[in-house]
Amino acid sequence: MLFNSFEFIVFLPIVFILYWFVFRQRKEQNILLLISSYIFYGWWDWRFLSLILFSTFIDYLIGLKLSEEKNQKKRKYLLWISISVNLGMLGFFKYYNFFIESWIEAWSSMGITMNVSSLKVILPVGISFYTFQTLSYTIDVYKKKLNSTKDFIAFASFVSFFPQLVAGPIERASHLLPQFYVNRRFDYNKAVSGMKLILWGLVKKVVIADSCAISANKIFENYENESGLGLCMGAVYFAFQIYGDFSGYSDIAIGTSRLFGFDLMRNFNYPYFSRDISEFWRKWHISLSAWFRDYLYIPLGGSKGSLKIKIRNVFIIFLVSGFWHGANWTFIFWGGLNALFFLPLILTNKNRTNLDIVASNTLFPSIRELLQMVMTFTITTFAWIFFRSETITDALVYIKRIFNYSSFIPDVIRHKKVLPFLAAFVIIEWFSRSKEYAFVLDKKYRYVFYLLFTFLILYYGSVQEKSSFIYFQF
């Protein structure tokens, strides 16, 4: 089920009413959330519920065993079972064909034909998200940062919690799971802020991302016929498409959770106002960055150790992050590129320079800050070209054509439908950059704005009926 679908508009109020008016006991509410989450997921393909159930059972049982087991060797053994099962599942469904095809290509480049057939494996929606979430539970229990749970319903609800099941934020067990143990009371302010987040998330997705998607898709699919400026605009459109799409999804997920009395972690913090790539990665897909930092980067040694180890760790984390996004060399290249951008900062110990909010005491940024933001946006957008392209060759040709100055023809008319929205969006975000979400309005006129945003969603929502979210494929 998609957040921007008619089905969800019916589904959400039904679950909300049942949750607060019919099933008022904590255990009943957890059961309701579990059933609702399975319906939400099964709406896409009920067969893949078995994978969630399998992953849930494995990590629940391993969690229990880990808390009973005192022998460190056996505990480690249990941890590796969980890691193998979860990553094995992820590897098979997401990466099997990639490895097989890469293997065949590698041999064929040496003139040897391999007759290994690839399988038509369907990628289960959200598998990268919920496997990481269950893994975080087992690792935290192993590290004794979290007590294992005996409440299977609470654990299963935590794994499959529908607002964030298919595209995050990837929650830590230590943050979300305890919320299933306590009684929830309806909190008016929390619910109102949740509704605002849902509305703003839909504006980001339906108005900004989907409008940008139309232009970005046209340009990326016909890049050979585009001018240099057209290709630059294509990359910019994609940068806003992916931001609007994914941060919009996260806002709706966080907002929906608040309606049920839950708090999810923030996933985006105005990343395009970052002054360097390190700040960008602290503000973009925060839940994934934090996951990799805590479970991969720090265990590898982080930024401590020799120069060689520092460089190795930066590359590992970015390459793995790229690979997490999809089974294609373009994602790996995108990760590698970000590692290259990040490396100078880590080597000069400037990776934690910009920790404050940009221009926090002034209305506008200084020239220096503006240049830094433009520079950071440019390099991230440059990397997005690899992320969006079908193959690395496509991306390289795309970039080569950008620098074909003879075809750098201004083509403003074609962009007149999208650019005003983008400009308005950037302005709204800029003036909200110190707030949790860009939707804090003056009390006097807020109702008018809510209506305006609703009609914008209704208007643009019908252009591409049921357009999916980009991160569903990851």
Residue span binding another protein (CB under 8 A) among the ranges 33-41, 63-71, 295-303, 456-464: 456-464
Output the six-digit token pair for 152: 């299977």
Contacting range for another protein; rule: CB under 8 A; set: 91-99, 183-191, 371-379, 419-427? 183-191
Q: Which of 23, 382, 450, 472 binds another protein (CB under 8 A)?
A: 450
Instruction: Report if residue 408 touches another protein, rule: CB under 8 A.
Output: no
Binding to another protein by residue 404, rule CB under 8 A?
no
Q: Is 77 in the site for another protein (CB under 8 A)?
A: no
Tokens for 162, please give them: 């529908």
Q: What is the 3-state secondary structure (H, E, C) of 408-455?
A: CCCCCHHHCCCHHHHHHHHHHHHHCCCCCCCCCCCCCCHHHHHHHHHH
- Give the separation between CA 393 and CA 140, rounded to whole angstroms: 41
Least Cβ distance, residue 400 to another protein (angstroms): 25
d(CA 469, CA 244): 10
For another protein, the binding residue among 106, 357, 371, 463 (CB under 8 A) is 463
Is residue 325 part of the annotated active site? The answer reads yes
Among 183, 137, 218, 152, smallest CA distance to 415 is for 218
Is the distance from CB of 399 to CB of 162 less than 8 angstroms?
no
Q: Is 25 in the site for another protein (CB under 8 A)?
A: no
Nearer to another protein, 99 or 447 (CB): 447
Q: Does 195 bind another protein (CB under 8 A)?
A: yes
Dihedrals phi, psi of 258, to nearest 5 degrees: -65, -30
Q: Among residues 440 and 448, whose Cβ is nearest to another protein?
A: 448
Q: Cβ 219 to another protein, closest distance in Å?
A: 14
Asked if 188 interacts with another protein (CB under 8 A), we say yes
Interface with another protein (CB under 8 A), residue total 20
Strands (E) in 27-68, as ranges, are none
Q: How far is the CB of 114 from another protein (least distance, A)?
A: 28
DSSP-derived 3-state class of residue 71: coil
- Please say which residue, 374 or 452, places its beta carbon nearer to another protein: 452
Q: Catalytic one among 175, 285, 325, 415?
A: 325
Q: Smallest distance from the beta carbon of 312 to another protein, in angstroms?
A: 47
From the centroid of its chain, how far is CA 304? 28
Residues of this chain, 279-338, that bind another protein according to CB under 8 A: none
Q: Does 465 bind another protein (CB under 8 A)?
A: yes
Q: How far apart are CA 2 and CA 11, in angstroms?
A: 11
Query: How many CB atoms lie under 10 A from the CB of residue 420?
Result: 10
Supply the minimum distance, in Å, between the C-beta of residue 404 and another protein.
Answer: 22
CA-based Rg of the chain, rounded to a whole angstrom?
23
Task: Give Cβ neighbours of residue 233 (< 8 Å, ≥ 6 apart).
Answer: 215, 219, 411, 415
Restricting to residues 1-20, name those near another protein by CB under 8 A. 6, 20
Q: State which of residues 114, 409, 423, 458 lies at the interface with another protein (CB under 8 A).
A: 458
431 binds another protein (CB under 8 A): no
Residue 460 CB, nearest distance to another protein (Å)?
8
Contacts of 181 by beta carbon, 8 Å cutoff, 6+ apart: 26, 149, 151, 154
Active site residues: 325
Binding site for another protein (CB under 8 A): 6, 20, 186-188, 191-192, 195, 447, 450-451, 454-455, 458-463, 465
